[in-house]
Structure 1
């Protein structure tokens, strides 16, 4: 099979998998085989190290990220990724050394005394499971960095289009969100998702500005469908589409990306309600949800896991919805959900 044939197979395989999916499958297979040869105990040590470092990185990356943002003016997404990477790698190395130091003698003793028995074979076979799980965690680790680091649109889109990778990233974001809730605050920031509470006047400096923007109509339609899907699940009426609200959302998304801030209020102090009124929209009740994320699925998942944003999405007071989605390239997609009665 030549290179062209391989890429044609990847693009047209019956399972709908892309090249990211195939890399993940190959990585899992490799680690499973490695787990077999290493044996259960050595593979288990690697798995424990991976899990701990992953959790540790997700829990405390913001400490390093805040330092990079405040003192080195690093873009938020890049700072998050660096903090996560540094803490995860350092903690993984330290824990791996400690565990292997304490368990090495037991593992050697076990293998020496079971080398010619069925138990030895079983120990090798059992090593497949922690080996494969280590590959899953490693894949989630790498994919989280890819969609967070602002450098390659191609890689970000490949991950977004990946069936396996998309699931791993979604679950990573959900786990990070759970950890983030411990610390609270108006700004809800995970590796792949940034938002701010609906009633907050806080403004976040993105530490980047870009005018290389495009309207992402596909993501707007997906987000609109997601909102109504959540409402229908709970027996609520669907919201009707509003082009005027969509335009308000698009304009605010563009403004935030072009001027490098993230807030419900503009630097001049204009609130969402001021912008709606300026567009000639009559309303008694209004609301706005903001999100900066790699895709609509991650954005919607993050919003639904936030009580304030979820309340807007499921409010009985709202009848109309407009979604603005502006693609900022390597920096992700800025979403604005605009609600009125």
Structure 2
């Protein structure tokens, strides 16, 4: 069994080099009058010993915690852990840590999560808002990740452009009758994806929208969406605005004996971790999460730096009113990437007709 070894501190570095603790502290913080040669020696020794600066001490010196808050709309949704990982990596790259709050799809819980992170000293927050909600001034620097059409949005995937890409691809495959499958009309992200799809369809193309939430309110959670009937009516392209809805469409169509993609094509959005291992593997739109995370963190840190920067008039804050609307990014929209897999293909040459059981 390995024994616990205490973490090296400033005193260990000072003892190893025969200098004072104050000299080591000044060298590592860039303060005081320490020669360049000694600074280099001290920093090398700190690295050799595995010294990690105390975040508590840093907070006392700088007035910052070195922590960013992240509020997610539903941590159980498979998309958001992927986004959280990208944001955590982007924050780590600039020496920040992440605390996560979960709103569980509830407005009150979202407010509670924001307040909880502020109370724990987060220097700024990144918020992925619950659908249909808007993040305003929370008295702390904040970056918002939702959709480019959302008021106050900082950065997001180009959901409208993603919708256009998927529609143009399916049109190139000969599809002329589209079913768009979406969860809720309250979602800015879903509405933008739908808008992008429909904006690319010429007048000669037929499209219908199925709102899953509305159907389930009438028929119960997990009910059939009536997709096989749509195939019988001649619809061949089923465009879900999330991979979760695309998975549901695949399963429902396959249960009805409809072959994918021979009889109908199914596409999704988000490229969730399991999308490539479905049978057939799912054609979908992929978000560039790392770029979105990098832009969100950089925009937020710029706001934090602005808050800490002394004003020209000699006051204590560059923004004494503590009014912080959501951060703005120079690049607020990040293109999505079309990932073509086996769930989509050319439109069938003849209409699908359900097989009927016959008695001998």
Give me the TM-score of the superposition, normalised by structure 2.
0.29
> If you compute each CA radius of gyration, which structure gives the higher value, 1 or 2?
2
Q: What TM-score, normalized by structure 1, do the two folds share? A: 0.30
Structure with higher helix content: 1
